[in-house]
Amino acid sequence: MKVFVLGAGMMGRAVVHDLAGARDVRHIVVGDFDRGRATEVAKKFGRGRARSVFADVRETGGLARLLQGCEVVVNCTQYNWNLDVMRAALAARVNYMDLGGLYHMTKRQFALDRDFRKIGRLAIVGMGGAPGITNVMARALADPLDHVEAIRVFNAGADEQKYDSPIAYTFSIATILDELTTPPIAFENGRYIEKAMLSDPEPGKFPQPIGNIVLRHSIHSELGTLPESFRKKGVREVFFKINYEPQLVNLVQNLAHTGFTSREPIAVNGTRVAPRAVLLALLQKHATTKTPKDVEALRVVVTGRRGKRRISAAMEMWAGHSVRPQLSAVARDTGFPAAIAAVMLGRGEIRGAGVQAPENVVPPQPFFAELKKRDFRFRSWQMKESRGISKKK
């Protein structure tokens, strides 16, 4: 099997490392606009099976030529390039998957469903951790139910690393800015609604080192698929909540208030420049070289009925960072699921055509089994109350 990994950042290197350990994968191509970075990732994480190429997502024809002969392209670029990469995959007639689209992009990607069906290829949108693992957990919890009322997704994490800068960040700062400045979408009473930023705080109790935290609404890809995937089972409520460091939230909110996150160009000394572009350039200086000592927990709670019995069931996944290779928990539980799904697709364990959400094509138990081999921990339980996320039997 030949797999193309597009994007040699923190998530891309996790995908490459996991693919390189798969018996079925013979050849990995690592593509990036920064050829030097792609070469470094191919050598360091590819275990002798990877090579690098220069790739420009803006050149559909050129990217399509690079994808020729691959089983699948795993898109690890910034989510705003998702449609461009999908069009290249269509031109090359290869399968596609990405790590998410922050709801709005995810919705737009389904416009290419018919095109992928015509060529008999599959495009899986949001095949990372959250989205990805969360979606498949929702499927596992919902399948035994006759009726689904609510799907609630929670993303919690903690990092014990000591950084030199108080605003050091460990994954895409552009995505962080978008998550903290784009109004969240929730599904309430069977309708999509826009929520206030970081609204509806909800206490969450997790094992240490996460502990007692507060989770709030944030824009996320799960809302782009879960309400539609479970509409026939009657779902009326879906939301995604996350805990962000208060220091980071305050910083971004202050920057947004003063206009630094705006994409609209302004005149500065005779030159027009977008404040957000300047902010991103400045924040790049704070990109840390330290590997996080982090953990991440993904929890999904599904409430519904089986027969006449009302049930509220939860499933939780825990991931930790690794030392060899140096990968954060977020990189592992985002990159590894995509690599696993790519191999399952190549083996014929994932089937289908068109643009699909993970919950509709990825078989839960084989997928979870692969994650467990990589030291991802799962637990499930029945909730005492359908609303809270802390109480359990």
**114: in domain:** yes
Cα dihedral 353/359/365/369 (nearest 10): 90
User: Do 79 and 139 sit in the same domain of this protein?
Assistant: no
Count of C-beta atoms within a 10 Å radius of residue 18: 23
Task: Say if residue 138 is in the same domain as residue 120.
Answer: no
Burial class (CB in 10 A: 0-12, 13-18, 19+), 70: buried
Q: List pLDDT tens digits, range 220-230.
A: 999 999 999 99
Q: pLDDT of 296-322, one tens digit each?
A: 999 999 999 999 999 999 999 999 999
Q: Check whether residue 92 and residue 150 sit in a common domain.
A: no
- State both tokens at 265: 């160009």
Q: Identify whether residues 170 and 200 lie together within a single domain.
A: yes
Q: Kindly tell me if the per-residue pLDDT of 260 is higher than 60.
A: yes
140 and 101 in a single domain? The answer is no
Tell me if 354 is assigned to some domain. Answer: no
Instruction: Please report, as a single letter, which amino acid is at residue 210.
Output: I
Sign of CA dihedral 325, 326, 328, 329: positive
pLDDT in tens, 132-177: 999 999 999 999 999 999 999 999 999 988 877 656 666 677 888 8
Residue 364 lies in a domain: no
Boundaries of domain holding 217: 133-329+371-382
Q: Does residue 293 sit in the same domain as residue 155?
A: yes
pLDDT above 60 (res 385): no
User: pLDDT tier at 388 (50, 70, 90 boundaries)?
Assistant: very low
DSSP structure string for 96-160 = EEES--TTHHHHHHGGGHHHHHHTT-EEES--BTTTBHHHHHHHHHHTT-SEEEEEEEEEEEEE-
In terms of domains, do 155 and 197 share one?
yes
Q: Roughly how many angstroms between the first and final C-alpha of the chain, as a whole number? A: 45
What is the C-alpha separation between 282 and 108, in angstroms, rounded?
Answer: 31
Domain ends where: 82, 103, 124? 124
pLDDT computed for residue 176 by the predictor: 82
Angstrom distance (rounded) from CA 127 to CA 338:
5
Q: Are residues 74 and 185 in the same domain?
A: no
Q: Provide the CATH number for the domain around residue 53.
A: 3.40.50.720
User: Do residues 284 and 314 both lie within one domain?
Assistant: yes
With respect to residue 158, please indicate whether it lies within any of the assigned structural domains. Answer: yes
Per-residue pLDDT at 175: 84
Residue 197 is predicted with a pLDDT of: 87
User: What is the overall mean pLDDT for the chain?
Assistant: 93
**6 domain residue, yes or no:** yes
Q: Are 247 and 313 part of one and the same domain?
A: yes
Specify the CATH number for the domain of residue 191: 3.30.360.10
Split into its structural domains, the chain has a count of: 2
Residue 392 pLDDT level (bands cut at 50, 70, 90):
very low
Task: Say what the pLDDT of residue 165 is.
Answer: 65
What pLDDT is stored for residue 167 in this prediction?
Answer: 61
Do 275 and 235 lie in one domain? The reply is yes
Tens of pLDDT, residue by residue over 61-93, are 999 999 999 999 999 999 999 999 999 999 999
Residue at 200 is within a domain? yes
Residue 360 belongs to some domain of the structure? no
Which of 65, 91, 124 is the endpoint of a domain? 124
Give yes or no for a contact between 294 and 159, defined as CB atoms under 8 angstroms apart.
yes
Domain annotation covers residue 343: no
Question: Which of 104, 124, 144 lies at the terminal end of a domain, its last residue?
Answer: 124
- What confidence score (pLDDT) does residue 387 get? 47
- pLDDT band of residue 255 (cuts 50, 70, 90) is confident
Question: Are 169 and 301 contained in the same domain?
Answer: yes
